[in-house]
Homo-oligomer: A and B are copies of this chain.
Amino acid sequence: MERTTLGELGTKKGEAVSVSGWIDVRRDHGKVLFLVLRDRSGTVQAVVKDGSDAFPVAQSVREQWVVQAEASVVERPEKMRKDEQNGDIELVISTLTVLSQAHELPFDMDAELNLDTLLDYRPLTLRRDRERAIFKVQAAIVAAYRTFLTAEGFTEFQAPKFVGDDAEGGGNIFKVEYFKDRYAYLATSPQLYKQIMVGVFERVFSIGNVFRAEKHATTRHLNEYTSLDVEMGFIEDHTSIMNMEERYMRFLMQHLEETCVHEFALLGATIPRIPATIPRMKLREAQALITEQTGKDCLNEPDLEPEHERWLCEWAQKEHSSDFIFITHYPTAKRPFYTYEDETDPGFTKSFDLLFRGVEITTGGQREHRLDTLIEKLTAKGLRPENFGFYLQAFKYGLPPHGGWGMGLERLTQKLLGLENVKEATLFPRDMNRIDSRLSETDDALEN
């Protein structure tokens, strides 16, 4: 019999079906066994009764075993119905076949696990309802990103990860043994390539991993993450980029309302509402506000401290009912060479951060598109224009005013879902201490 997915069972009431999946829950009531089956489309409760061919098999199976079952789809009595997927039906299994066994689980699947256990057992813990909900939402963010940008005339491109040198000079870059005693480096962002691509397709986006050799071990940092990038030409200034991002965020929340309500409910998270306009202020205005209202002077700082980002988000929530706030005009000294300086506000840039629920989730802005000025800015940052010859071609042969943003997918997922640590929103997080296994344990294994 052809397989029916569990998500299709609602249309098969009274029929005989063949289903396949994992045993998520098994409850033994003596003469009757209850199983919760899971496949890609959802879950269903099944019963196996003493006397059926399936009964001895059902007695032997355990959680996470993989099975195939012949069953009939029966409606539950009115008072047994639940307001959940397949809550009005259950499967009565007649034949049960084991496709794959599982070892005894190291913990209860709905136990509260500490972060190390969660990650040590990632291939298993990712199967939990909570983790599947997190990564369903993550896939939805990516899907919404593409749908929105494609409709806005953006073309997707594949950015290279190998780069020739530490272009932005930040130093937080991983070094790769390339060929013939030569080194290559891993891109910390697709920045230079997406600017080149503005010359080709005018509006481009890319989705891909970037690599930061930062020695941070915080709840917000990863050494490898997924960057959602955009770059667009023929803009007015940085506000064109902010407007586009505001529209994406509105589109995203609508998409999540339509596709992920169950996942948000399961995680106890709220889909944020976007006000008509997300509040916007210059960094110095923000600092003046913080200084005035908290009494702590931060007027001369070049950037926002984490506590200031949190304070501003609380302020935006209180004053504007907004989970988001744009901060603009960071000093030229704190922004990369390609950032556009505001002619009307020298020393400050047409750049922005988007803060959301206490942290920065996007950095963006207008870029310098004038070749001569760009070379001056490179030199002023102590970089050597001759190392940027390839990139500078894009400007030599004409680029319009342009700008864009970069946004970390995992951090956005984390903050949307109210997770404590960004690693919970990363399938296979890499940091100083872990690449799948803890690195100290790898040492042990290699020594054996």
Contacts and interface: CB of A to CB of B under 8 A. Distances in A.
B131 A200 contact: yes
Interface string A423-434: 000011010100
A160 B209 contact: yes
Interface stretch (A178-186, A261-269, A275-283, A326-334): A178-186
B22 A158 contact: no
A386 B437 CA distance: 11
A161 interface: yes
B398 A64 contact: yes
B162 A142 contact: no
A436 interface: yes
Contacts of A394: 123-124
Contacts of A55: none
Given A186-B176, A199-B123, A398 B66 contact: yes
A158 B209 contact: yes
A387 B157 contact: no
Contact of A397 (B103, B369, B409, B432): B103
B437 A164 contact: yes
Interface in A141-190: 142-143, 146, 150, 153, 155-165, 174-180, 182, 184, 186
A158 B5 CA distance: 25
Contacts of A161: 161, 209, 211, 224
Interface stretch (A132-140, A242-250, A298-306): A132-140
Interface stretch (A28-36, A80-88, A94-102, A289-297): A94-102
A158 B430 contact: no
Contact of A40 (B68, B153, B436, B437): B153
A409 B158 contact: yes
A99 B401 contact: yes
A221 interface: no
Contacts of A409: 158
Contact of A102 (B124, B165, B226, B397): B397
A40 B393 contact: no
A315 interface: no
Contacts of A121: 393
Contacts of A391: 123
B143 A150 contact: yes
Interface in A216-251: 223-224, 226, 233-234
Interface in A381-407: 386-387, 389-391, 393-394, 396-401
A311 interface: no
Contacts of A208: 208-209
B123 A158 contact: no
- The residue among A123, A387, A401 with the most chain B CB atoms within 10 A of its own CB is A123
A427 B100 contact: no
Contacts of A344: none
A5 B427 CA distance: 40
A27 interface: no
A122 interface: yes
- The residue among A22, A126, A153, A390 with the most chain B CB atoms within 10 A of its own CB is A390
A435 interface: yes
B126 A22 contact: no
Contact of A126 (B158, B196, B389, B436): B196
24 contacts: A40-B153, A40-B233, A41-B153, A66-B400, A100-B399, A102-B398, A124-B393, A132-B201, A135-B201, A136-B155, A138-B158, A139-B156, A142-B156, A143-B146, A160-B427, A163-B436, A164-B442, A165-B442, A174-B178, A176-B177, A176-B186, A180-B432, A197-B427, A389-B445
The 5 closest A-B pairs by CB, nearest first: A40-B202, A102-B398, A123-B393, A123-B394, A390-B436
Given A102-B398, A121-B393, A179-B432, 7 more contacts: A102-B397, A123-B397, A174-B176, A176-B186, A178-B435, A197-B427, A386-B448
